[in-house]
């Protein structure tokens, strides 16, 4: 039977999980589609047909396509369905992050970490989109949780799950391949439960005294004896998954295709000092705008407190974060904010652990040692509640409100503003134009003739319903991918005017056809 305290904690966890899920699924279509979302959805729509080898168009995100494909995204509902599918995965990831915080730092950290996670704007913005990064972050959190459980109690079943999750995480995004090191780190860094025999006690003592710098053969052998029953199935499962991937890639290659395993155009062939410096500067700017300056500075202090008070547990959480973030900072030409979203669960665990460490330190300083334990819960809980309350009221909740109801009011970095708001990689303006035409345009036999002359035609199909007779032309139809200023070369426009008495034009090239003064010879 659960005690009243345990029951209350369980209820609070469920409430927090549901609150986080609500923030990620309320008004899921508020932000117009981003071009990467369309790419993921279009691949997910065909992945279970197996007309093509899925590895051939995996782009380093194969598992995401299989996940989205389970929900059968189709037509104008595909975007919403796909975003909700990612939100479901994030729900599991947030529960896993809470479990990691509990296993590393206790129940106090679990509640604090979960509360931070559901509010953090850095995660919330991208976890409302059909992107690989939040999906990968959820899998990484599950891998971290499973790794800790294996380190505490090695069994074949736990080894199987660790191997599977460690293999699936980079299948969701290939740049997280280093996550395979988490089980080993858990074994080396985390304290183990009391041994059940003198032999085990000697073994645990040897492990406790060992360090990453001085691992003699005897310690390694004892670790292997303790963990081999779990590590053998873990290694086997990991190799099995990636052997299947390799065979599929080789088959595609032998069939005369060139499998796209990763988007190499995003990586720097030979990273330079200036590239790293620029990425670090952009990283700092994103932290300020998506976490806030006070929270960013506080996280630095909490990380130090966590490492001081709980060096092994804190080291595990910090390395988990580094394994996800560092590859992007070091090798990518330009670090997009979404690339770092996979690390938010680890960041939440660090916040929870840091708060507990700070509360413990304060309790020890404010009262006698024999009474410190009584105050730890009160002080760490009170500190966390106060910090989260101020941060939520002044920053996180206004950000969440705008994200759900008025995304255009968000203050983002220059790169993010271009990508998700006013650049050519989203459907701002186009979506609103189609909504307007659907309610106000004249129809021909119940249909609205519309031509899009846009920089990216494919993404708009997420909003094209059966109300429209739709055609679209973009720069990819012309040599050098350059849209001609001479509108007589817009072939689809001429074809549409030959077919219908009039046509509605939706274009991003208003400098070629001024919409307030269209040519007299075109019935637009």
pLDDT for 415: 86
Q: What is the pLDDT of residue 91?
A: 97
**Higher-pLDDT residue of 286, 185:** 185
Q: At what angle do helices 156-172 and 132-152 cross, to 10 degrees?
A: 160
In which band, very low, low, confident or very high, does the pLDDT at 321 lie, cut at 50, 70 and 90? very high
Whether the pLDDT of residue 265 is over 70: the answer is no
pLDDT, tens only, 296-314 = 999 999 999 999 999 999 9
Structural contact between residues 68 and 130, judged by C-beta atoms closer than 8 angstroms: yes
Query: What confidence tier does 457 reach under pLDDT thresholds 50, 70, 90?
Result: very high
- Binning pLDDT at 50, 70 and 90, where does residue 433 land? very high
Average pLDDT, integer, range 468-481: 88
The two beta strands, 448-453 and 468-473, are parallel
Question: Would you state the structure tokens that stand for residue 335, as one six-digit string?
Answer: 């670090």
468-473, strands of its sheet edge to edge: 468-473, 448-453, 504-507
pLDDT bin (cut points 50, 70, 90) of residue 194 is: very low
**What pLDDT shows up at residue 362?**
82
Flag whether pLDDT at 1 surpasses 50.
yes
Could you tell me what percent of the chain has a pLDDT over 70? 85
Confidence of residue 128 (pLDDT cuts 50, 70, 90): very high
C-alpha atoms less than 13 angstroms from C-alpha of 218 in its C-beta half-sphere: 8
pLDDT of 208 strictly over 60: no
pLDDT tens figures, 246-260: 999 999 889 888 888
pLDDT at 334 over 90: no
Handedness of CA 137, 141, 146, 150 (dihedral sign): positive
Q: Which of 67-76, 193-202, 317-326, 442-451 has the lowest mean pLDDT?
A: 193-202
Position 207 pLDDT exceeds 60: no
Q: Are the C-beta atoms of 248 and 54 separated by less than 8 Å?
A: yes
Confidence band for 269, pLDDT divided at 50, 70 and 90: very low
Tell me the three-class secondary structure of 123-186, residue by residue.
HHHHHCCCCHHHHHHHHHHHHHHHHHHHHHCCCHHHHHHHHHHHHHHHHHCHHHHHHHHHHHHH
From 8-22, 234-248, 293-307, 497-511, the region with the lowest mean pLDDT:
497-511
Q: What is the rounded average pLDDT for all residues in the chain?
A: 87
Out of 65-74, 439-448, 485-494, 513-522, pick the least confident.
513-522
């Amino acid at each position: 039977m659960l005690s009243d305290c345990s029951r209350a904690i369980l209820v609070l966890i469920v409430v927090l999980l549901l609150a986080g899920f609500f923030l990620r699924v309320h008004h899921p279509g508020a932000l117009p589609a981003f071009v990467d979302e369309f790419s993921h959805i279009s691949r997910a729509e065909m992945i279970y047909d197996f007309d093509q080898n899925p590895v051939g168009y995996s782009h380093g995100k194969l598992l995401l396509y299989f996940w989205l494909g389970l929900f059968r995204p189709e037509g104008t509902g595909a975007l919403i369905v796909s975003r909700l599918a990612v939100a479901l995965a994030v729900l599991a990831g947030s529960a896993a992050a809470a479990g990691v915080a509990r296993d590393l730092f206790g129940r106090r950290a679990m509640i604090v970490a979960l509360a931070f996670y559901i509010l953090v704007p850095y995660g919330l913005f991208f976890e409302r989109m059909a992107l690989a990064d939040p999906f990968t972050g959820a899998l990484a959190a599950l891998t971290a949780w499973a790794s800790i459980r294996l380190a505490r109690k090695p069994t074949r079943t736990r080894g199987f799950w660790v191997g599977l999750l460690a293999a699936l995480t980079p299948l969701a995004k290939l740049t997280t391949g280093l996550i395979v090191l988490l089980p080993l780190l858990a074994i080396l860094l985390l304290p183990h439960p009391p041994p059940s025999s003198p032999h085990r006690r000697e073994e645990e003592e040897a492990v406790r005294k060992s360090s990453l710098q001085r691992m003699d053969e005897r310690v390694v052998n004892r670790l292997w004896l303790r963990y081999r029953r779990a590590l053998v199935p873990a290694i086997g499962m990991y190799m099995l998954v990636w052997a299947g991937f390799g065979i599929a890639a080789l088959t595609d290659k032998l069939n005369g295709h060139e499998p796209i395993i990763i988007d190499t155009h995003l990586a720097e062939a030979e990273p330079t000092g200036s590239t790293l410096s620029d990425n670090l500067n952009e990283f700092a700017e994103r932290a300020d705008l998506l976490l806030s300056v006070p929270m960013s500075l506080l996280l630095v202090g909490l990380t130090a407190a966590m490492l001081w008070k709980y060096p092994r547990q804190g080291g595990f959480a910090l390395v988990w974060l580094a394994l996800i973030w560092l590859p992007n900072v070091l090798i990518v030409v330009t670090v997009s904010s979404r690339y770092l979203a996979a690390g938010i669960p680890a960041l939440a665990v660090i916040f929870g652990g840091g708060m507990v460490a700070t509360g413990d330190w304060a309790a020890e300083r404010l009262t006698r040692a024999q009474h410190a334990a009584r105050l730890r819960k009160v002080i760490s809980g009170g500190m966390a509640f106060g910090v989260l309350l101020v941060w939520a009221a002044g920053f996180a909740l206004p950000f969440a409100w705008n994200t759900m109801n008025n995304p255009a009011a968000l203050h983002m970095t220059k790169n993010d503003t271009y990508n998700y708001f006013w650049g050519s990689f989203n459907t701002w303006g186009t979506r609103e134009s189609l909504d307007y035409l659907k309610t106000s345009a004249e129809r021909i036999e119940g249909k609205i003739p519309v031509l899009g002359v846009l920089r990216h035609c494919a993404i708009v199909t997420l909003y094209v319903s059966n109300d429209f007779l739709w055609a679209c032309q973009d720069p990819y139809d012309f040599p050098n991918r350059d849209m001609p200023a001479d509108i007589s070369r817009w072939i689809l426009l001429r074809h549409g005017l030959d077919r219908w008495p009039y046509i509605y034009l939706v274009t991003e090239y208003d400098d070629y056809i001024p919409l307030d003064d269209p040519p007299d010879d075109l019935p637009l």
